[in-house]
Amino acid sequence: MLRVRLNARAKVTTASAATLRRAAVAATLLLLCGCANTLHILKYELSVTRVRADTPPITSAARPKPESDTVAALRRAGFDTYLCGDAAGLNQAWYARGQTAHAPVADKSVSKALLTTAFAAAEAQGLVSRDTALNKIDGCPVPAALQPLTPAVLANMGAGFHYAENAMPAVYAGPEWACRILNLPPQVPSGSRFNYGTAQSHLLSLHLTDSLRQPLNRVIDNLVLTPIGAQLDGWTRNQDGDVFGGSELLLQPRELYSFGRLFLQGGVADGTQVLPAEFVASTREPVYQDTGRAGFAYSWGWWLTQLSGQPVQIAEGYGGQMIVIAHQSEQIFVFTAPTGGWVTARQHQERVQAGLEMVTAALSVQRKN
């Protein structure tokens, strides 16, 4: 099994104060409700290692704040960062009181877009193939009932096993996450339906890191972030030494913006073709239209919808983390929000809706002008 080789600048916190606080909250809930899922969450929190890299802050000139009504809406929704700009650079920036421009953000499922992008970059170098039939992942056999299982199927949430996002933490409550995931009950042939789940992203990350023989943080840095002047600020690894793929990656808000700009510019950064233009274009073409989310399609880690009459692609993470790219208007929007404690599904949905309404308003004003 692949073990993480930590960057010399990385700082590991196995039982940090934050981890102990999360464990204490989970333990309290366990005592109050006897919830089996809470026990699994507690086991997860006590078994993972949070790694923080000693990365330099991105320096930039101060930018104007958005209009007062936008700021008021950001505060009401509970966001702590808002960035807006275009391919030329950042035009507006707002940070809530106590938040700094350089504080790393746990971007949650925005990590999925980073992961699929790293896979595409590796594929462009001939190191992996999206159509490879996966017979084993991290040493665990892929059941025949799940075939055909390929990296493309995993990247687009098409695996055929039963999994309910945010409702089945047991797969992360012990070692050998790949085996736990692959042993979930099969329901349909893989590729025949959409079923969003971080478990699939983690399987893809294990395949990618085993193929490249490097830990996921290094793969993403080398293939995606270093070429755009960014670097992961942190990640989480499990007790087997595997970096959690598809969630828990940390970036500074400006790095999230730079990642979005890479897609706005067709995969080009500083005159260099970092990503194949064909892959960037494919992320705007739905792989699945029927996602169970009205008005939203999905493609390679990105949600696709329409705002103010134009198509947009969205990398979205739990709690309200978002990169929104409007190619027609050549605009990028970044939102971040606190994820500590217990963010409810309703809070998440309300934040996302508020953010999309602000983007809609901004695009509508631009269209009128």
Secondary structure of 215-265 as H, E, C letters: CHHHHHHHHHHHHHCCCCCEEEECCCCCECCCCCCEECHHHHHHHHHHHHC
Q: How far apart are the first and last CA of the chain?
A: 56
Q: Look at residue 204 in the predicted model and tell me its pLDDT.
A: 98
Choice between 19 and 366, residue whose per-residue pLDDT is larger = 366
Domain that holds residue 353: 66-103+252-369
Cβ proximity of 283 and 300 under 8 Å = yes
DSSP letter string over 34-61? --HHHHHHHHHHHH-EEEEE-PPPPP--
CB atoms within 10 A of CB 146: 21
Mean pLDDT of the chain: 88
Q: In whole angstroms, what is the distance from residue 143 CA to residue 189 CA? A: 11
Question: Are both 2 and 146 inside the same structural domain?
Answer: yes
Residue 59 within any structural domain of the chain: no
Residue 60 within any structural domain of the chain: no
Tell me the backbone φ, ψ of residue 333, rounded to 5 degrees: -130, 135
DSSP letter string over 107-153? -TTHHHHHHHHHHHHHHHTTS--TT---SEETTEEPPGGG-S--HHH
Q: What is the pLDDT of residues 83-123, one digit of tens each?
A: 999 988 899 999 998 888 888 999 999 999 999 999 999 99
- The answer to whether residue 65 scores a pLDDT higher than 90 is no
Q: Taking residues 219-241, what's their average pLDDT? A: 95
Count: domains in the chain: 2
Question: Are both 247 and 272 inside the same structural domain?
Answer: no
Q: Look at residue 60 in the predicted model and tell me its pLDDT.
A: 65
- How far, in Å, are 312, 324, 327, 332 from residue 88 at the CA level? 19, 16, 13, 11
Please report which confidence band the pLDDT of residue 30 belongs to, taking 50, 70 and 90 as the band edges: very low
Question: Are both 136 and 73 inside the same structural domain?
Answer: no
Question: Are both 247 and 128 inside the same structural domain?
Answer: yes
Tell me the backbone φ, ψ of residue 307, rounded to 5 degrees: -130, 130
- Counted residue by residue, the chain has a size of 369
Q: Looking at 218, 251, 284, which one is the last position of a domain?
A: 251
Query: What CATH number does residue 321 fall under?
Result: 3.40.710.10
Residue 61 within any structural domain of the chain: no
Residue 13 within any structural domain of the chain: yes
Q: Look at residue 149 in the predicted model and tell me its pLDDT.
A: 97
Q: In whole angstroms, what is the distance from residue 12 CA to residue 54 CA? A: 11
CA within 13 Å, CB half, 183: 9
Q: Look at residue 136 in the predicted model and tell me its pLDDT.
A: 96
Residue 367 within any structural domain of the chain: yes
Q: Taking residues 204-225, what's their average pLDDT? A: 97
Question: Are both 12 and 137 inside the same structural domain?
Answer: yes
Cβ proximity of 134 and 142 under 8 Å = yes
Question: Are both 182 and 321 inside the same structural domain?
Answer: no
- The answer to whether residue 203 scores a pLDDT higher than 70 is yes
Q: Looking at 204, 221, 251, which one is the last position of a domain?
A: 251
DSSP lists the bridge partners of residue 136 as 141
Q: In whole angstroms, what is the distance from residue 349 CA to residue 318 CA? A: 9
Q: Taking residues 39-46, what's their average pLDDT? A: 75
Q: In whole angstroms, what is the distance from residue 240 CA to residue 247 CA? A: 17
- The answer to whether residue 274 scores a pLDDT higher than 80 is yes
Question: Are both 153 and 242 inside the same structural domain?
Answer: yes
Please report which confidence band the pLDDT of residue 18 belongs to, taking 50, 70 and 90 as the band edges: low
Sign, CA torsion 270/327/249/4? negative
- How far, in Å, are 7, 260, 296 from residue 210 at the CA level? 18, 27, 32
Helix count (H) and strand count (E) of the chain? 11, 16
Question: Are both 179 and 319 inside the same structural domain?
Answer: no
Q: Look at residue 170 in the predicted model and tell me its pLDDT.
A: 85
Q: Look at residue 101 in the predicted model and tell me its pLDDT.
A: 82
Which of 41-55, 93-107, 127-141, 355-369 has the largest mean confidence? 127-141
Q: Look at residue 36 in the predicted model and tell me its pLDDT.
A: 60
In this structure, what token pair is assigned to residue 117?
């992008």
Please report which confidence band the pLDDT of residue 46 belongs to, taking 50, 70 and 90 as the band edges: confident
Question: Are both 122 and 37 inside the same structural domain?
Answer: yes
Q: Looking at 221, 251, 281, which one is the last position of a domain?
A: 251
In this structure, what token pair is assigned to residue 214?
């490097």
Is 365 strand, coil or helix?
helix
Please report which confidence band the pLDDT of residue 291 belongs to, taking 50, 70 and 90 as the band edges: very high
Q: Taking residues 344-353, what's their average pLDDT? A: 92
Q: Taking residues 10-21, what's their average pLDDT? A: 52
- The answer to whether residue 14 scores a pLDDT higher than 60 is no
- Interacting residues of 205 by C-beta distance below 8 A, sequence separation 6+: 115, 216, 242, 243, 244, 245, 246
Please report which confidence band the pLDDT of residue 6 belongs to, taking 50, 70 and 90 as the band edges: very low
Please report which confidence band the pLDDT of residue 29 belongs to, taking 50, 70 and 90 as the band edges: very low
Question: Are both 38 and 172 inside the same structural domain?
Answer: yes
Question: Are both 347 and 212 inside the same structural domain?
Answer: no
Question: Are both 125 and 77 inside the same structural domain?
Answer: no
Residue 242 within any structural domain of the chain: yes
Amino acid at 80: D
Q: Taking residues 297-313, what's their average pLDDT? A: 97
Q: Look at residue 15 in the predicted model and tell me its pLDDT.
A: 41
Residue 6 within any structural domain of the chain: yes
Q: Look at residue 28 in the predicted model and tell me its pLDDT.
A: 46
Q: Look at residue 9 in the predicted model and tell me its pLDDT.
A: 44
- The answer to whether residue 337 scores a pLDDT higher than 50 is yes
- The answer to whether residue 33 scores a pLDDT higher than 50 is no
